[in-house]
């Protein structure tokens, strides 16, 4: 069952989601997302969608690495949590669980993160990763802490 609560502010208030902002997120995806080839397709406080190539993200058996799936899931859920946190706030991952369903050896996988809950201090997302035929590859749940500033001396991403 999906339980959805209202974000700390009305949806869209000071948040990314417009085409120009989506392009900005793709220009500054973060180092790991860039290395994995993650490309955002949609980003709203309620739903985040991205693709990731299997090529370049395989483990020694030639299969999509489970860690790459987990990184895709955490990237999508964290972006969703950030969009719910509001301006001047940061989202940091607290808990990620992943269940791997099937092997993928080529092509592109798609991740869809759907908001389960967003409050003042935490946000949770359900992330489903599928192959090009729409078959489940991995399901994840991410819980993020919403903070007033990034921890450990971290900085906010560039604005432009």
> Which tens digit of pLDDT belongs to each residue from 64-96?
999 999 999 999 999 999 999 988 899 999 999
Residue 155 inside a domain? The answer is no
Residue 121 inside a domain? The answer is yes
Tokens representing residue 131 in the block: 């192959």
Catalytic residue among 4, 42, 55, 74: 74
* pLDDT value at residue 146: 96
CA distance 103 to 91: 30
Please tell me the number of Cα atoms within 13 Å of 71 on its side-chain side.
20
Query: In this structure, what CATH number is given to the domain that contains residue 52?
Result: 3.10.129.10
pLDDT band at 159 (very low <50, low <70, confident <90, very high): low
**Structure pTM?**
0.84
Residue 24 CB burial class (10 angstroms; 0-12, 13-18, ≥19): middle
Number of structural domains (the chain) is 1
pLDDT tens track for 12-71: 444 444 555 666 666 666 899 999 999 999 999 999 999 999 999 999 999 999 999 999
Residue 160 inside a domain? The answer is no
Q: Is 74 a catalytic residue?
A: yes
Residue 97 inside a domain? The answer is yes
Tokens representing residue 125 in the block: 């997302």
- What is the domain extent for residue 90? 19-147
Residue 157 inside a domain? The answer is no
Whether 4 has a pLDDT exceeding 60, the answer reads: no
Residue 103: phi and psi, rounded to 5, are -80, 145
């Amino acid at each position: 069952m999906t339980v959805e609560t209202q974000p700390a502010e009305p949806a869209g208030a000071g948040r990314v989601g417009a085409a120009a902002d989506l392009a900005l997120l793709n220009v500054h995806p973060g180092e790991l997302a860039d290395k994995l080839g993650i490309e955002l397709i949609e980003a709203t406080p309620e739903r985040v969608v991205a693709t990731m190539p299997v090529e370049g993200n395989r483990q020694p058996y030639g299969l999509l690495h489970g860690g790459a799936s987990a990184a895709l899931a955490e990237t999508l859920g964290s972006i969703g949590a950030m969009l719910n946190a509001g301006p001047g706030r940061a989202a940091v991952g607290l808990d990620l669980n992943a269940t791997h369903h099937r092997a993928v050896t080529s092509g592109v996988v798609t991740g869809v993160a759907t908001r389960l809950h967003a409050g003042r201090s935490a946000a949770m997302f359900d992330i489903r990763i599928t192959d090009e035929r729409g078959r489940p590859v991995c399901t994840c749940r991410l819980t993020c802490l919403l903070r007033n500033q990034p921890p450990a001396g971290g900085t906010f991403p560039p604005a432009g």
